[in-house]
């Protein structure tokens, strides 16, 4: 099992400024899954009941001189502490800056070493930064690489997580949503989230003392859509949502506000737009983030990032 590659400058910036801060907020430990073509950071896909997140990069986005080999179709997966990874990356970057030399590149590779004071070799992801005058090596401890069965399980979970909801609505202003969700956290713990095929997104927190809700209407819809019934603008948001559910033109799920707030930490990765959808049987709430190719409005297909929030109760069933 071998892996080594150089980090590109774009890759370093992308990870350091955007993705690692965001992934760290979702969960301290994540799985890093490397294949011949992709590097994928995953949270809670196996053996976790929190927010699942999948950040997938084409290898060229982050790496150059990418070499990977394993007896399991060149696939390697292991668990890694996001904060440690971020620290190593930042200090490697600092050394690179100090050397003031473009040739100072950061190489990462998988190694097995004897940790100080131990007799058993342990696996590390090692960062090697060579400047003109100095070379610095940093070892980030990782879990034992996954067995063939574990990798297969991870791949299955990854495939399953790609299922798209039938209807997706685009939330135009994520920071507004984040602000709302942060404040709703003080009111209650559970949130009812409904999405209609007309492009309405309705959030509601309800306790025995208070009901607070917010409705975003006329959002852009992807997938199955329907025309809004005429005359419904005079109804209250809860009534409108209820009627849409009865007509089979909306789905509603209950999620934890804590999970929703966590998924909104993906904003740190600076996505250009976000879509919300509920999977057909109300199994989960999916949030898909899109990134544009810099300077354009075209989706950058080499990066994909999405979250799935566990559903606590299917409101519509």
Count residues contacting another protein (CB under 8 A)?
A: 23
Asked if 236 is part of the footprint of another protein (rule: CB under 8 A), the reply reads yes
Query: Considering beta carbons, is residue 162 or 179 the nearer one to another protein?
Result: 179
| C-alpha dihedral, 120 to 35 to 89 to 8, nearest 10° | 140
The 8 Å CB, 24+ separation contacts for 163-166 are 163/279, 164/223, 164/277, 164/286, 164/288, 165/223, 165/277, 165/278, 165/279, 165/280, 165/286, 166/223, 166/224, 166/277, 166/280
Nearest distance from C-beta of residue 239 to another protein, angstroms: 7
Structure tokens at 26: 């979702």
Structure tokens at 126: 């090692």
Asked if 215 is part of the footprint of another protein (rule: CB under 8 A), the reply reads yes
Q: Are 38 and 145 in contact (CB under 8 A)?
A: no
Nearest distance from C-beta of residue 304 to another protein, angstroms: 28
Residues 167-206 that bind another protein (CB under 8 A): 176, 179-180, 183-184, 186-187
Query: Considering beta carbons, is residue 206 or 314 the nearer one to another protein?
Result: 206
Query: Considering beta carbons, is residue 161 or 214 the nearer one to another protein?
Result: 214
Asked if 147 is part of the footprint of another protein (rule: CB under 8 A), the reply reads no
Asked if 246 is part of the footprint of another protein (rule: CB under 8 A), the reply reads no
Q: SS3 string of 147-173?
A: CHHHHHHHHHHHHHHCCCCCEEEEECC
Asked if 118 is part of the footprint of another protein (rule: CB under 8 A), the reply reads no
Distances (CA, A) of 265 to 5, 105, 178: 29, 30, 8
Nearest distance from C-beta of residue 201 to another protein, angstroms: 10
Asked if 103 is part of the footprint of another protein (rule: CB under 8 A), the reply reads no
Positions that interact with another protein (CB under 8 A): 176, 179-180, 183-184, 186-187, 208-218, 234-237, 239
């Amino acid at each position: 099992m071998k892996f080594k590659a150089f980090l590109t400058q774009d890759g370093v910036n992308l990870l350091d400024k955007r993705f690692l801060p965001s992934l760290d907020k979702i969960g301290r430990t994540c799985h890093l899954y490397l294949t011949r073509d992709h590097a994928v950071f995953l949270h809670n896909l196996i053996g976790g009941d929190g927010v699942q997140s999948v950040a997938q990069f084409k290898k060229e986005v982050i790496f150059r001189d990418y070499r990977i080999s394993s007896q399991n179709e060149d696939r390697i997966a292991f668990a890694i502490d996001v904060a440690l990874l971020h620290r190593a990356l930042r200090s490697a970057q600092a050394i690179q800056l100090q050397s003031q030399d473009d040739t100072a590149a950061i190489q990462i590779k998988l190694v097995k070493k004897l940790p100080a004071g131990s007799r058993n070799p342990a696996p590390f992801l090692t960062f090697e930064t060579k400047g003109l005058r100095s070379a610095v090596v940093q070892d980030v401890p990782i879990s034992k690489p996954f067995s063939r069965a574990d990798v297969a399980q991870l791949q299955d979970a990854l495939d399953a997580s790609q299922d798209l909801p039938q209807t997706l609505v685009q939330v135009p202003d994520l920071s507004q949503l984040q602000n709302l969700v942060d404040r709703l956290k003080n009111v209650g713990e559970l949130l009812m989230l409904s999405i209609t095929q007309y492009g309405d997104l309705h959030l509601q927190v309800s306790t025995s003392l208070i009901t607070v809700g917010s409705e975003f209407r006329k959002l852009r819809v992807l997938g199955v859509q329907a025309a809004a019934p005429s005359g419904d603008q005079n109804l209250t948001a809860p009534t409108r949502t209820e009627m849409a559910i009865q007509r089979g033109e909306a789905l509603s799920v209950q999620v934890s506000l804590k999970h929703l707030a966590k998924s909104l930490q993906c904003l740190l990765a600076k996505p250009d737009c976000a879509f919300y959808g509920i999977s057909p049987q109300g199994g989960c709430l999916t949030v898909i983030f899109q990134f544009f190719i810099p300077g354009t409005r075209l989706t950058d297909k080499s990066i994909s990032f999405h979250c799935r929030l566990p559903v606590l109760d299917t409101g519509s069933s």
